[in-house]
Every structure is written in structure tokens, then in C-alpha cells.
């Protein structure tokens, strides 16, 4: 039994990491940044959280974290903690926001896994072409490893720091734990709202990117 337990822990973690989907992606977006991002790339704060079952005695998480560093913004922070049934991993980083053309140029020299792409007044949270590359890299560590987006929950905290009021629009979203097919809100200066997009099975956001619209 001791021999079995010696390999069962790492194998269990590998199975639970296969096709691993983040529990939560949290983004903090300021209305002034959205305006600036129409003409230049802006980096916004992002936090990605994972909850993993089982023990990681072989340091699999550390090896995957090391591989992730080149794909994250400089100064990104990793923190691990013990959970009830396993381990928690939290990554604090930044992701770029801008138009498609701006992001294409930016991502040519900056390796990132996610970006916020602006199309007219609509913002989309999208994976980049680097994600399959990173997916392959962690697959070299263990064939069972993978990374899936969107996260089970994507929370976009929209904060208004603009002098003029902004109209916020989102579809199929939770606000204050209440579901909205269409959510609309006028944001005066210093107003804020948390948009929560569910990306689990059966959700529209399991198939499309979380998205919202900010109108002048």
C-alpha cells in the first residue's frame, strides 16, 4: 500500500489538472483605461485562482509556475496555500487591453496568455496565440496537463473614473448575485460594478468570451 500511495498522489493531481480550468479570473478595469486603450495598449490588473485536489509532493505546481513566468507580465506574483482537500494557487498579474491591431503588434514582442480586445465599444476577454504554446510546454512536463479558458467565473470590476457618465451594458451576467439577461447601468464618476460571467458547463460563456460594452 505504501508503494501505491507513493505514486497515487502525483497521478491524482495530474488527472485533476488535465484540462484545468481556473476557478476565477478577476479583472479590474477603469473607464479612463478603456478610453486610452482605443489608441494605445493598457495593462490591467488580473488575478487568476485555481483550486486543486490532492497533494503535490513532486512539485508539479512549482514546475508549471516556472514555465508560466515568461507568459506573464513582469512582477507577477504566485501564492500557494493549503485548502480543505488540496491546494490553492493564486496568480496576480496584468494583461493587455487594446484594439486588435494594437494587440497584434504588442503581443509580437510580449508573451501573454490573455488579452482584452476592444472592437468599437465592446470589450472581449480572449486567449492569445500563446496559449496553445504554453499548453504544449506544460504537456511536456506531464502528458495529462492542460489549461482551459474561460474560467469557471470571470469577474470584471468596472470602476468609473471619468468625468462624464458612462453607459455599461452586458449580456447574460450576474450582478450582486442576481442573474440578468441584459444588464444596463449608468456609471457616474466613482461608481463601480462587478460583472460576473459564469463559464461552467451549460453557460453561454463556456463557448464564447466574456464581453461587455461601455458607451460614452
pLDDT band at 6 (very low <50, low <70, confident <90, very high): very low
What is the signed CA dihedral for 141, 148, 194, 209, rounded to 10 degrees?
140
Residues 34-46 pLDDT 10s: 999 999 999 999 9
Looking at the structure of the chain, the number of domains it has is 1
pTM, 2 dp:
0.84
DSSP codes, 20-53 = B--SEEEEEEEHHHHHHTTTS-EEEEEEEEEEEE
130 vs 138, higher pLDDT: 130
Summarize the confidence of residues 17-21 as an average pLDDT: 53
Q: Is the pLDDT of residue 70 over 80?
A: yes
Q: What is the pLDDT of residue 158?
A: 97
What per-residue string of b and e applies to 103-138 under the rule 16 or more CB within 10 Å gives b? Answer: beebbeebbbbbbbbbeeeebebbbbebbeebbebb
DSSP codes, 63-128 = HHHHHHGGGS-TT-EEEEEE-SSEEEEEEEEEEEEEEHHHHHHHHTTS--SEEEEEETTEEEEEE-
Domain span including residue 161: 2-215
Q: What is the pLDDT of residue 56?
A: 67
- Of 54-63, 101-110, 141-150, 190-199, the range with the lowest mean pLDDT is 141-150
Percentage of residues in the chain having pLDDT higher than 70: 81
Q: Is the pLDDT of residue 140 over 90?
A: no
Amino acid at each position: 500500500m505504501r508503494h501505491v500511495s507513493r505514486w497515487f498522489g502525483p497521478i491524482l493531481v495530474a488527472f485533476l489538472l488535465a484540462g484545468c480550468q481556473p476557478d476565477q479570473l478577476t479583472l479590474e478595469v477603469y473607464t479612463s483605461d478603456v478610453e486610452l486603450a482605443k489608441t494605445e495598449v493598457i495593462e490591467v490588473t488580473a488575478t487568476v485562482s485555481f483550486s486543486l485536489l490532492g497533494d503535490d509532493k513532486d512539485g508539479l505546481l512549482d514546475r508549471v509556475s516556472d514555465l508560466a513566468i515568461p507568459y506573464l507580465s513582469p512582477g507577477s506574483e504566485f501564492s500557494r496555500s493549503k485548502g480543505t482537500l488540496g491546494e490553492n494557487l493564486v496568480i496576480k498579474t496584468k494583461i493587455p487591453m487594446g484594439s486588435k491591431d494594437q494587440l497584434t503588434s504588442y503581443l509580437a514582442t510580449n508573451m501573454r496568455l490573455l488579452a482584452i480586445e476592444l472592437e468599437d465599444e465592446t470589450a472581449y476577454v480572449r486567449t492569445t496565440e500563446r496559449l496553445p504554446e504554453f499548453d504544449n510546454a506544460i504537456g511536456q512536463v506531464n502528458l495529462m496537463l492542460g489549461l482551459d479558458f474561460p474560467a469557471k467565473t470571470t469577474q470584471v470590476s468596472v470602476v468609473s473614473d471619468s468625468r462624464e457618465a458612462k453607459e455599461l451594458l452586458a449580456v447574460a451576467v450576474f450582478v450582486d448575485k442576481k442573474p440578468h439577461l441584459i444588464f444596463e447601468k449608468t456609471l457616474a464618476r466613482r461608481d463601480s460594478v462587478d460583472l460576473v460571467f459564469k463559464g461552467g458547463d451549460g453557460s453561454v460563456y463556456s463557448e464564447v468570451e466574456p464581453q461587455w460594452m461601455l458607451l460614452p
